Amino acid sequence: MGKAEGSAAQETWHGHVTALSVAPEYRRLGLAAIMMNILEEISERKDCYFVDLFVRVSNEIATSMYTRLGYTVYRKVLEYYSGDPDEDAYDMRKALSKDKDKKSVIPLKNPVRPAEVE
């Protein structure tokens, strides 16, 4: 589901949601929220500053769920997902207790390209 990445000695150290999927017959049972909570707890224990994830701009259901879980849009990544046509993504973040000033979730004003994503 996820991993820790970035530099452990810097404020870029964070938990990252690689993929989260729930089979249709098991949706709306709170399973995604449970899995996100587990990843957040592990990220806290690893002294991460925040947890991030990428979600398709068109995936309003997922974006809404992540917002309810406390995530905010940090930036838009143009043409992040390949396809016909390519699709933009939201980089959504949730600050953890190590980021006392919540600097990691201050939204960027301008969109970025995938090559600019650290």
Condensed to tens digits (0 to 9), the pLDDT of residues 55-85 reads 999 999 999 999 999 999 999 999 999 998 9
Give me the CATH number covering residue 82.
3.40.630.30
3-class SS at 26?
helix
Residue 39, domain extent: 2-116
Band of the pLDDT at 9, cuts 50, 70, 90? Answer: confident
Structural domain tally of the chain? 1
3-class SS at 74?
strand
Q: What is the pLDDT of residue 21?
A: 94
How large is the angle between the packed helices 60-68 and 31-45, nearest 10 degrees?
A: 50
Question: What average pLDDT does the structure give for the chain?
Answer: 96
- pTM value surpassing 0.85: yes
The C-alpha atoms of residue 4 and residue 49 are separated, in whole angstroms, by: 10
Q: What is the pLDDT of residue 43?
A: 97
